[in-house]
Amino acid sequence: MDYGVSILLNDTVIGIISLSVLLFQGTATFILLSRLLKGAKRCPPLTPQLPYPEMLGKVTVVVPTLNEAERITPCLQGLGQQSYEVREIIVVDSHSQDGTQELVKTAGLEDPRFRLITDDPLPSGWVGRPWALHNGFLHSSPRSEWVLGIDADTQPQRGLVASLVNAAEEEGYDMVSLSPQFILKDAGEWWLQPALLMTLLYRFDSAGVREQSPDRVMANGQCFLCRRSVLEALDGYACAASSFCDDVTLAREAAKQGFKVGFLDGKNLIRVRMYEGIKETWNEWGRSLDLKDAASTAQVWGDLALLLLTQALPLLLLIVFLSFWSIGYHFLSLKLAIALNIVLVIIRFSLLFAVFPSYYKDKSSFVKSLLFWLSPLADPFAVLRIFLSSLQTPKQWRGRSYSNE
């Protein structure tokens, strides 16, 4: 009798679990697919272009820096390769102590478009990066129609600026930013970084998708072009002053005010080496990926639920449900739950093929890059990182302390 009751209870529990999974995970999968399917009609990746005469002096480039001597040289070289569409390149340095200013001054000797300024002490309520960008905008030439923010860890390719301006004008964008091609070196980076990147692909539309709602707009401050008139209307970067994801905050505020915001695939135009090693990737990038400064609390936690159900758990649930099946539990709901998680695993690996071109590969990284294909095993850790970040406010960021603010 007791054995029969035990079997019945096990049947009931497993049935409830499988039905619950179908309800919640099925709903999340529908939302995920509705986003991913938009990618079929997205704009193709941008390619390098030459400027046309009407582009002369249209763009001011602003580069915020703080102790970037070890990685700014490729950025300076890449910007120096841009043509006459770039009127000036303003490097806004926050009193670096590592030789960054000397490197910028040397670049200025060869190319007079480079100009070094230092920003004022950080005001209360501001984060360092938007403050530097704001200062660059205030010091830029009023004759520049566009202002382009570029991070010091990027490697702009020849033809970047002309291609970006041309795309913005053809599509009628007031703001447009690019997804880059990532440069990874350590084995740990190749395993963890794609899993972290995937949390963005699961939550938001792919680069190149048109007509995004203002509260779902994505942006990348590593390469962010904006009309001067729009920045003037927004009072520069003031609306993103305290944001640790100032790019997304600024883009969503602009979209709410009716400006057209785009996010395009720029893997052919700009590369980026963001962080050194798995530890720095986890600490630095992981604490801004929640995007809580640009979203409501409901949106943040709703996105976390979607990540848990569609990215973090499918492999684990598939193993658990298959073990139930193997010992004789052949419920229809269990069969459907297994099928659903197989679909989610297939989606995850398919996305690996889709994003693989967004990673720079050379002979030295070939063996380590094989870990890229094992990055789905890092998904639970990536989602955990987003969860932890959602509960915390950064106290340090890029060499600055915010503990007293």
Half-sphere exposure (Cβ direction) of 325: Cα atoms closer than 13 Å: 15
What is the per-residue DSSP string for 262-320? EEEE-TTTEEE---SHHHHIIIIITTTTT-GGGS-HHHHHHHHHHHIIIIISHHHHHHH
* CA separation for the pair 377, 354 (Å, rounded): 18
Lowest mean pLDDT among 201-205, 325-329, 387-391: 325-329
* CA separation for the pair 271, 116 (Å, rounded): 23
pLDDT tier for residue 4 given thresholds of 50, 70 and 90: very low
Q: Which residues have C-beta within 8 Å of that of residue 241, sequence separation ≥ 6? A: 125, 126, 127, 130, 131, 134
- pLDDT tens digit sequence for 57-112: 999 999 999 999 999 999 999 999 999 999 999 999 999 999 999 999 999 999 99
Evaluate if residue 232 carries a pLDDT over 80.
yes
Question: H/E element holding 198?
Answer: helix 187-203
Question: H/E element holding 92?
Answer: strand 86-93
Helix 332-355 crosses helix 314-326 at what angle (to 10 degrees)? 150
Highest mean pLDDT of the ranges 3-17, 39-53, 77-91, 333-347: 77-91
What is the mean predicted confidence (pLDDT) over 32-39?
90
* CA separation for the pair 278, 84 (Å, rounded): 39
Q: Which residues have C-beta within 8 Å of that of residue 50, sequence separation ≥ 6? A: 83, 159, 162
Q: What is the pLDDT of residue 309?
A: 97
Evaluate if residue 207 carries a pLDDT over 90.
no
Q: Provide the 10 A C-beta neighbour count for residue 215.
A: 12
pLDDT tier for residue 399 given thresholds of 50, 70 and 90: low
Evaluate if residue 398 carries a pLDDT over 80.
no
Query: Residues 330-339: contacts with CB within 8 Å, 24+ apart?
Result: 331/11, 331/14, 331/15, 331/18, 333/15, 333/18, 333/19, 333/22, 334/14, 334/15, 334/18, 336/18, 336/22, 337/18, 337/21, 337/22, 337/25
Domains contained in the chain, CATH given: 53-185+205-276 (3.90.550.10)
Q: What is the pLDDT of residue 373?
A: 95
* CA separation for the pair 332, 321 (Å, rounded): 12
- pLDDT tens digit sequence for 239-277: 999 999 999 999 999 999 999 999 999 999 999 999 999
Cα 25-31-37 angle, rounded to 5 deg? 125
Q: Provide the 10 A C-beta neighbour count for residue 310.
A: 24
Evaluate if residue 284 carries a pLDDT over 50.
yes
What is the mean predicted confidence (pLDDT) over 332-350?
93
Which two three-digit tokens encode residue 154? 């990027």
What is the mean predicted confidence (pLDDT) over 344-366?
92
Of residues 151 and 367, more confidence is placed in 151
